[in-house]
Amino acid sequence: MKKPALILLTLMLTFSTLWGGAVAMGVTQIPHEDPTKAENHYSLSLPLLNYANAISLMACRNYSEAGDLIQQLESSHANLPEEVQFVMSRFNDLAADLTERLDRLDVVLDECEILLSQNEMDATPRKIVEARGLVAEIGSLIGNVNTAMDELILQTAPFISAREAASVQASEARLRESMGKLAQLEDWYKDLLENMESEAGKKETLTATTLTLQTRSSRAWVGESLSVWGNLIAEGVPLAERAVSLHISNSQIATVNTGRDGYYSTWLTLPYWYDVDEVKVHAFYYPEGEDSDRFSATSSEGINIAVMFHPTSVQIEAPSKMLPGLPSEIRGKVNSRGKISGRNVQALLDEDPLFQISTDDDGYFSRDIMIGEEIAHGEHSITFSVAPDNESRSAGTITVSSLDILKAKPVVTLRPPGTIFLPAKLEPTGKIFPPLSSIARIKIEGEVHSSLPLNEAQAMLEVAGASSTSFVNGGEFSVEMEVPFSFSRVGLQEIKLRLVPAEPWQLPSECTTEVLIINLAYLLVLVVVLAGVGVEMIMHRPHGLYERKDKLPSYVEEPHEPLREEVIWLPEAVPIAKENRGVILKAYYSAVAWIQKIYGILLGPQMTLRDFLNQVSSSHSRFAGVLTRLTGLAEKALYSQHAQGEDEASLAQDLSAQIKKQGSEEQKT
C-alpha cells in the first residue's frame, strides 16, 4: 500500500507543475550513422547534369536559356566540397564566357548575311573581320572548357558515394556528349564564315553606286510633310526605275522609284514624336533582282531636322498623406501653348489605375478619390500622365507625386484580476446529466490608445481556453466573460486580447498578459491524496522510531557487486587480420579502450567518432592532436571505398602507442 501511494503522490506533483502546457520530448542526441549508408548533404550528379543541359542548349544555339541556366548554377556550389567548388566555379566562368561569345557571333553573322544580301560592301568586310576573331576566341574557349570538364570529373571522383555512382556516371556521359555537339557547332560556324567570305570576295567586283538626298527645310513640326529629292547614279550613269528607301531615325517612312534620269522626289511626313528634339533623314538603295549581281548598295548622307511641338506641363494639388476609407480631393491644371481643353489625364496609384478624367475649357480637372482598406500603409506614388494631342501638336507629359498612406496600430493595455478561483459558483443546467455546471465570471479592464479615431473595434478575449467577443471604443474599456470549470485550468494562464478595428485606417493589434487560476477542486484532490499518503506512512512507520537512543547504531557493511568493465561501442566493422583496414581499426579500438579504462570517458552508441574526439579533447587537450589523426584514419577505414596503405596502418599503430605512452607518463606524475 505504501509504494502505490508514493507513486500516486509523485504523479500528482508532476502534473500540478506541468499542467496546462505541452512538452514535446525528442531524441537529444543524433545517433551515429554510417556516411556510406546515409544521404549526402549534396548531390554531384545534379550539377553535372545541369551543365550538360546548358552545353546542350548552346549546341542548339539557344544562348539566352543557356546563359540563364549557367547564371543560376553559379550560386549552387556552396554546399559542395572546397576542391569541387573551385574547379566547378572555373568551369562555370568558362561556360558563361563561351555562351556570350557564341551569342555575339550569331548576331555578327546575321548582320553579315543581311549586308551581303543588300550588297553593302562598305560595311561587310568589317563585320567579317569581327566574326573571324570571334570564331578564333570560341575555338580557344571550347578547348579550355573541355580541359575544365576533365578536371571537374577528376575532382568529383573521391566524393561520389556508392548510391550516387550510377547517376554521376550517366551525367558525365551526357556532359561529354553535349561537348561533342558543341564541337560540331564550332565547325558549322567555321563553314558558314568561309561561305560568307567567299561570297564577299565575289561581290568586290560590283559597280559602286552613289545616292544623294536634299530638302529645303532644317526644321519641321510633328505631323508636317517635308519635300525631299535626290539622284541615284552608278559610275556617272543614272539608274532609272530603282527603289529608294527613305528613313527617319532608322525607321523606314517611305519608298520612291527613280525616274529615267535617276532623279527621285517625294514628301515625308514627320512622325508625332514628342520625346526627341531632332531627327536624321537618310536615303538607301538596295539592289534587287539582276542588280544584285551588278551594283553595290549605297546610302546618302544624313540630314538633321529639328522637331517642333508644343510642350505640355501639369500642376498637381494632392494631399501628401491619406487615410484609407476617407475621401480626398485631387486637383490639377494642364498648361500648354497648344490645346488645354479636353486633354485626357490618367492617374495610377503605384501601377494600378486610380482614375481617368478630361480637363475643362481652362485646362483644370478635379477628382474625389477614396483609397481602399486593402492598401498597405507607408510610402506610395501617384503617376499623372497627360496624353499628347496630335491635332494641336501638343506633347504629353508625366509627373509623379508621393503619397503616404497612414494606418495606426492601437496600443492595448490589460488590467486583469489578480486571481481567478475555480469553481466559483454552481448553476443548474436543466439537463439530466450533468445536472449542475460551474463557471467563473471575470471582468477584465484595460485601455486602448490610437493616434487616429477608433470606434466599435472587435475585441476577442481568450483566457485558459475560453473566449469571448465584444466591441470597444478608444480609451478605457471593460470586458466580462465566463470561464467554465475544468481540471486543466490551473496555475498561470495567458490572457490574450486581439483587437480588430472597424476603420480601414487602423491596424489589428493584440496584447497578452497572465493571470493566476486557483483550481479549488484540483487542490482538494491533491490534499486528500497527500493526507492518505501521510496516514499510510504513519501506519507503517519503522519500529523503534521513537525509542531512546541509548547506544550508537551498529552498521554492517554490505558486500558490493564488483564493477563491470564498460564495453566500448563502435560502428559495426569486422576487421580482418593482416589487412591494413583491420590493423587501423584495431589500433583505434585499443586506444579508445585505454582512454575509457584510465579516464572513464565512454564512446556511447549515440556518439560518432568525432563526438568522442571532441569530448576527450575538451578535458584532456594533450591527446587532441594525436587522437585527431588517429580518428581520421579510423573514419577512412570505416567508410571510404578506397583501400588503405601499409603506411597508414603503421601510422595508426604509432599514434595508438603514443596515446598510451602519454597517458602512462601522466599517471606516474
Q: What are phi and psi of 294, to 5 degrees?
A: -120, -45
11-61 pLDDT, tens digit each: 544 444 444 443 333 333 444 444 444 444 567 788 888 888 999 999 999
Q: Are residues 219 and 333 in the same domain?
A: no
Tell me the C-alpha to C-alpha distance, in Å, between residue 367 and each of 316, 324, 326, 358, 373: 11, 16, 14, 10, 19
CATH number, domain containing residue 443: 2.60.40.10
162 shares a domain with 63: yes
Residue 611 located in a structural domain:
yes
What pLDDT does 258 receive? 95
Residue 304, beta-bridge partner list: 280
Structural domain includes residue 32: no
Residue 531 counted as domain residue: no
Residue 559 falls inside a structural domain = yes
The gap from C-alpha 470 to its chain's centroid, in whole angstroms, comes to 42
560 and 503 both lie in a single domain: no
First to last CA, the chain: 56
Q: Nearest-CA neighbor of 47 among 158, 160, 188, 212?
A: 160
Domain end among 524, 550, 572:
524
Is residue 384 in a domain? yes
Structural domain contains residue 10: no
- Is residue 368 located within the same domain as residue 492? no
Residues 50 and 115 in one domain: yes
Q: What pLDDT score was predicted for residue 206?
A: 86
Mean pLDDT per 10-residue section of the chain, whose length is 669 residues: 48 46 38 45 76 90 90 77 81 90 92 83 83 90 88 82 83 88 89 86 84 93 94 92 93 93 94 94 92 89 94 94 89 94 94 94 93 87 95 95 88 80 59 55 81 83 78 81 62 82 84 78 73 75 48 41 45 58 87 83 78 82 82 83 82 87 72
* Residue closest to 309 by CA, chosen among 250, 216, 223: 223
Cα 549-553-555 angle, rounded to 5 deg: 170
Clarify whether residues 418 and 398 are in a common domain. no
Q: What are phi and psi of 434, to 5 degrees?
A: -85, 145
Indicate if 197 and 54 belong to the same structural domain.
yes
Residue at a domain's end among 479, 494, 524:
524
- Asked whether residue 373 falls in the same domain as residue 326, the answer is yes
Same structural domain for residues 199 and 214?
A: no
Q: Is residue 421 part of a domain?
A: yes
Q: Which pTM value belongs to this model?
A: 0.51
CA-wise closest residue to 88 among 68, 101, 70:
70
DSSP of 506-554: B--EEEEEEEEEEEHHHHHHHHHHHHHHHHHHHHTPPTTTTS---SPPP
Residue 365 is classified by DSSP as E
Domain assignment present for 530: no
Cell numbers linked to 1: 500500500
Residue 344: per-residue pLDDT = 96
The single-letter DSSP state of residue 642 is S
On whether both 486 and 607 belong to a single domain, the answer is no
Nearest to 296 by CA among 304, 307, 308, 284: 284
> Residue 191 sits in which domain range?
45-203
In a shared domain, residues 189 and 169: yes
Specify the number of domains making up the chain: 5
- Which residue has 577512412 as its cell numbers? 636
Q: Do 651 and 626 sit in the same domain of this protein?
A: yes
pLDDT of residue 271: 95
Of 247, 277, 308, which closes a domain?
Answer: 308
**pLDDT tens-digit map of 424-462:** 555 555 555 455 456 667 778 888 888 788 888 888 888
- The pLDDT value recorded for residue 474 is 79
Determine the pLDDT at residue 592.
Answer: 87
